[in-house]
Every structure is written in structure tokens, then in C-alpha cells.
Amino acid sequence: MEARGFAIATVVAVAAGGALAGCGGDDDGAPAEVCVVAPGDGPAAPTSGPLCRRLSTYRLFADVPGQVPAAGVEPFDLTTPLFSDYTDKLRFVHVPAGGVMQWHDVDSLAMPVGTILVKTFAYAVDRRQPAAGRRLLETRLLVRMDDGWKAAAYTYGDDDGDAELAIAGDLIDTEWIHDDGQVRTNRYAVPNVNQCANCHAEHDEVVGPLGPKARHWNRVQPGGSENQLARFVALGWLAGAPDAAAWPRTPVWDDDGDGTLDGRARGWLDVNCAHCHNPRGAARTSGLDLTPTQTDPVQYGVCKPPVAAGAGSGGRRYSIVPGQPDESILIYRLEATAPDVRMPELGRNLVHVESVAVLRAWVTALPGTCATAAPAP
């Protein structure tokens, strides 16, 4: 594997009660901070201290290149996923033996210490032909420790048999054949540790999961026929769920037959933007609330002037102008690629053309008009 960032020797720590697999240490092999996971064959995570240098230490996959999960690791997906420059994403969760996730109607499910959330990013060789294979880029982990969640990215380099911790992030030059048969390229950005926290601190600067919300998980499990929430209830991994008829659900953003245009557009904004644009999020000072529970159109942007002017507004007066997507700051920023203008700020270099088309249609269909002039920010 290509070395990334720093060299740390893998060590094995022996403690009273048995051998513990660890990773960490200095270049000369002397232990520094040591990542400690329980011994055995199944998946496991440290519950305190640092995360591990090698992805393989967690024993999450039976086959890393094929992304085949080990026993005790379940695949999942979201009804509407976050856009990340047209990468494929494979998601998994491990809940430790005896641990239980707790239901929440709106926020992410509460998860026990020892839980590992896994998300692998890859580019298909040819998006028209899935059988042509894919290039693994990184696997991101969220690990629930005694003192909260810890996030990290692991990059594969030239060897997809294992991945190495990338504390400082990385830039990876990539190419693939797109849906239209044309070769596309991207300098894919692997986030550093601080950037992980920027997105995952959804409320009050506390790092936590974003995707594992009941409304996003209410769908059939990848490769199966069973509803994911029902599957986790049956496994004994999820407690407190109401009757299935009461489960909330985010519509699939690009399925015209799934719910309303308003529901699909706002569901996409929920997944892609609301982790910052909520009353307790990193972008709360903007006054823009893109959570699906917000029912005041002004609060989610309709005829709302920006808090601050500048390049981000593109000379436009309101976040959303009903019937006029070209005059809406929201659309302008989703179509931008300049780092100081685009939204979301992190996680994308490219424009998600297909979702922007849905959001344009949504703005066009919104009723009403805005004042001809807005107060200067």
C-alpha cells in the first residue's frame, strides 16, 4: 500500500486478562498511544483512546476489496443519500453484542458504546456497467467511544486489501466513465479529522451520526427484501420503535412516483444541507433552517434575504424566489464550484446536475412572490 501521512508501527499490547490487538507507536516500534480492540475473530472497536492505524484491525470485512461485511456487520443505505461527487457509497453498521440502538422520531438513533458506522467511497470504472468494477478511495468510520463519537478516514492508496488512517486527509486524482459515456475526472478530497467534525457536529458542536435517522433508514436493505428498520428490530439491535405504520420516511429524491415534489426536494436538502442549516448547527447564524420539520417558508428560505452579502449571494436578494430559480441564492450556490461560493462547502467539487434539476422544478412550482427589494444585510 502507498504510505499516506505518517508511519506508525503496529504493535500488540498484552494486558492482564489476555492479548489485545493494538495499533500505534513510534517509527522505532516503541508504543505511543495504542489503539486497543478486544481479541477475537469478529468486529470490534476501541472504547477509549485513539483509533487504529489500519482498517483491518477492526475486523469489519470478510473481504475488503469486495466490501463483503464480516458476521456482525450489517449493510444499510439511505432513501436519499448525500451527494459526494458521483462516488458510489457502501454503508455498514456494527452494534456490539448486547448493545441496542434506541429509536428517535427526528434525530439520529442513539447508539451504544462500541458501535461502528462504516462508509466506503468508490468510483465505478464505468457507471453504465457495474460489473466492470470500482476503485476504492476511502472508508470513513464513526466509532462510539466512552466519551462520545470519534471520526476518521482510511485511504486505500494502490492496495485495496487494507486502508490506512489519514489524519491529515488526502487528495486523490480519479477518473471514470460517466452515465453519458464520457470520461470524467475529479480531484477527490478525503477529509481531515477537523473536517469530519465540521459536518458531523450537527447540534451544539457535538460530533455524531447524520444518516442513521429513522426517516432515512426506512427502506429495503441493500441486496435484500426486508425493510432495514424491521431488520434491526428483528436482530434485537433497535428498541423503542413504534408500529411500522408510524415510521417516518424521506422520499427518494429522483423517484417521481415517491411522494410529492416538495417532499423530494426538501428531503434532499435535509440530507445534504440540514446538518449545518438547523437552529443548533454550524450555519445557525445564517437563519436558514432546512430541517424537514420546519414549516415556515421564510425560515427554509422563501423570500428570505441573506444575513451577509458577498460572493455567496451572486447579487441575488433572496435565498429562494418562488417561480424564479435563477434569482434564488440556493440554486446559485448549488450550481457553483468555487470553494468560497459552493454549497455544501465540503464533500463536493462537482455539480449534482440531476438533483439541481429537481430543486429547480421545486422552486419554479412554489407559489407567491417576493418584495421587489430586500433589506441590505
* pLDDT tens, residue by residue, 120-157: 999 999 999 999 999 999 999 999 999 999 999 999 98
The average pLDDT across 59-82 equals 96
Checking if the pLDDT of 24 tops 50, the result is no
CB 239 within 8 A of CB 229: no
The mean pLDDT value of the chain amounts to: 87
pLDDT at 223 over 90: no
- Residue 224 is predicted with a pLDDT of 87
Q: Are 136 and 120 in contact (CB under 8 A)?
A: yes
Checking if the pLDDT of 348 tops 50, the result is yes
What pLDDT score was predicted for residue 207? 77
Strand bridging mode 238-239 / 101-102: parallel
Cβ-in-10-Å burial (0-12, 13-18, 19+) of 101 comes to buried
- Of the given ranges (83-87, 204-208, 223-227, 362-366), which has the lowest mean pLDDT? 204-208
Mean pLDDT of 175-203: 87
Tell me the average pLDDT across 100-115.
96
Residues 6 or more apart in contact with residue 203 via CB below 8 angstroms: 107, 278, 280, 281
pLDDT of residue 309: 64
Contact (Cβ atoms closer than 8 angstroms) between residue 163 and residue 138: yes
